[in-house]
Each structure stands twice: as structure tokens, then as C-alpha cells.
Amino acid sequence: MKAMVCPKYGSPDVLQLQEVEKPTPKDDELLVEIHAASANALDWHTMRGEPFMSRLMGTGLLAPKNKILGADIAGRVESVGRNVTRFQPGDAVFGDTYWCGFGGFAQYVSVPEYALAPKPANLTFEEAASAPQGMITALHSLRDQGQLQPGQKVLINGAAGTVGTFSVQVARWLNGEVTAVCGTRNVDMVRALGADHVIDYSQEDFTQNGERYDLIVDNAASRSLSEYQRALAPGGSYVMVGYTFSLLLQVLLLGSWRAKRNDVSIGLLNPTENRKDLDEVRAILESGAVVPVIDKQYPLSRLPDAIRYLEEGHARGKVVITVAHNGAA
């Protein structure tokens, strides 16, 4: 099969389209013929081996342990191992392979059934592949860690990108009063996604306008911890999703002290595996409450261009990788 292989850490130039052996599913796995995948920050962080700490935490010290990246996938089950109970060949599925070693930037991947759910019936393969990581991140940051309650004021910093377009819609689905922060060209798009208020960060500083929020979900990591804290209402929460090294240090070293002193909560989003999430993501997508926003589509052979675009940090929704099975890639 064709796969985009990442043999060593580096820029998108290290990625190589190669012919590799098609995987064989183990007893508890399914072989999925991938029709579409989507790219996330996770992919380019892993491709670059950054932050360095992640190498010590398991991505591989000198070279990536998982040579085929790509977490978000959608496709059709080609075959199933003998212990698989929920799926059969021909089923349309989507899923998140991050917890089982990536593998999405290829024509086929072999994964345990917990990594998959039936594809939302109302979505194309491209739309379905765009959802898992972004939707799960939005659910974990807003509902699970942020504990957003109906009517509460929530601010989403970095509202127009891969995660942000889901954050805005999930916050609306949770009945929060949503303020979205993005750049000028994305103001209309973010409003159309359901934001009650939109702040163009090039025109207005949300940490200086006197408003206070019950929850700040920070996909952009563009301000200092003291600035975020100033924009929190008493008892409010700050959840850091995106990061810079400097902000990470501030949160780790000063977060609990500042939180106690100012009666707020400050924390990093801890990505946790929850096998029920995908089924919930599917139900929300099928209800129409959240609609994936696709910015650009690239064939698998142009994955390096897709990653370069994502690394610029201004994607408008998701970057999707289409995977052909007719000899081309």
C-alpha cells in the first residue's frame, strides 16, 4: 500500500510517499481502507519531535516511534479480527488512532475497535475524518475540564482554526454564552458558527475591555497568564489547550498559586483517552448541532504541503487529506 512515511524528525521535507506492507489485523483489530484523514497540530509536533519533552514521554528519542502519522481517519472496514464484535467488512467508520499508534496517512490502517465508531450517516468521509481530534478536544476542554454550565459566559481564544471551529459550536451546544476571538478575516465565519459575540484580536484586547468570563478556553496561547486571569470572573476557570513554552511554564510554576490567591481555577488540558467519546461525537454530528468546517483538501501525496499550511497557524477549520485507491495517491 502507499503511505506517507516520517523516517526521522524534521520539517515537512522529511515526509516520503512510499510503498509499504499492508497491515494485517490482529484478533482484536480491524483493517480499514482509508478514504480520508485530517491533519492536526499533533501531527506536525510529532513530525518535528517538539516539544523535546514529548520524545522522553514516548514519541521516540532520536526518531519517531510511529513512522506513519495521522490520527483522524474515515473509511470502510475491509476485514476484521476474530474477536471484533461491533463491526463487519463494508461498514463505514471514522475514528481517532492517536491512542493506538497513528497510521492514518496511508491507504490502510489496522486498529483496535475501540478507536472507531460508525461514520455519522449525514457526513462525507472527508467531513467525518475532520472531526475526532478537534471535537474530542472541544468536549474535554469545555464540558469535562471547564465544566461549562448553561448560560455561563465562555471565551474561546483561537476560535477559527482546527480546534476552535469545533470549540465555538460545542460551547453553543452546551448553551454557553459564547465570545469568540479570531483575526479579521474570520469574524463572519465564526459568527456564522454560532458565537454570540466576536472579538477581532487585531482591533480589541479582550483582557483590557472590562469583560469577565466564567470560562476561558485557550486554543491560541497568545497572552500571558496574568492577562488571562484578569479576564476571569470570580470562581472562573482557565483551560490551556494550545501552548507556548513560556505560557506552559507560567501555568506549571504559578498556576496553583495564582488560582488560590484569586479564587479561580487554572489548568492545562490533559488529553485523556475516553472510549465513549467517539460515539458521543457521532451522535452530536448526526444531530446537526456541530458541522465540520473544511478549509482545504490535499491528496496524500501532498501531505507535506498540507502540514506546511497548518504550521502557519491560520487554518480556517480543518485540513483534510484525501486517499485514493486507484493506483494514484
| Contact status: 160 vs ligand NAP (CB under 6 A) | yes
How many residues line the site for ligand NAP (CB under 6 A)? 27
In the complex, the smallest distance separating the C-beta of residue 130 from ligand NAP, rounded to whole angstroms, is 11
In the complex, the smallest distance separating the C-beta of residue 145 from ligand NAP, rounded to whole angstroms, is 12
Residue in the shown chain whose Cβ atom is closest to ligand NAP: 161
In the complex, the smallest distance separating the C-beta of residue 48 from ligand NAP, rounded to whole angstroms, is 12
Where in 9-68 is the site for ligand NAP (CB under 6 A)? 40-42
Phi/psi zone of residue 313: left (φ > 0), alpha (ψ -120 to 50 degrees), beta? Answer: left
DSSP string, 266-312: EEE------TTHHHHHHHHHHHTSS---EEEEEEGGGHHHHHHHHHT
| Contact status: 133 vs ligand NAP (CB under 6 A) | yes
Dist CA 280 CA 134 (whole Å) = 13
| Contact status: 145 vs ligand NAP (CB under 6 A) | no
Stretch that binds ligand NAP, among 4-12, 147-155, 176-184, 252-260 (CB under 6 A): 176-184
With residue 197 as reference, give the H or E element that holds it: strand 197-200
Tally DSSP H helices, then E strands, for the chain. 10, 15
95-118 residues labelled b (16+ CB within 10 A) or e (exposed): bbbbbbebbbbbbbbbbbbbbbbb
In the complex with ligand NAP, which residue's Cβ is closer, 16 or 202? 202
In the complex with ligand NAP, which residue's Cβ is closer, 166 or 173? 166
Q: Kindly write out the interface string for residues 211-250 of this chain, putting x where it contacts ligand NAP by CB under 6 A and - elsewhere.
A: --------xx-x------------------xxx-------
State the pairing for strand pair 116-118/108-112.
Answer: unpaired
| Contact status: 161 vs ligand NAP (CB under 6 A) | yes
| Contact status: 110 vs ligand NAP (CB under 6 A) | no
Half-sphere exposure of 57 (CA within 13 A, CB side): 7
3-state secondary structure of 232: strand
> Residues in the site for ligand NAP, rule: CB under 6 A?
40-42, 133-134, 137, 157-158, 160-164, 181-183, 186, 201, 219-220, 222, 241-243, 313-315
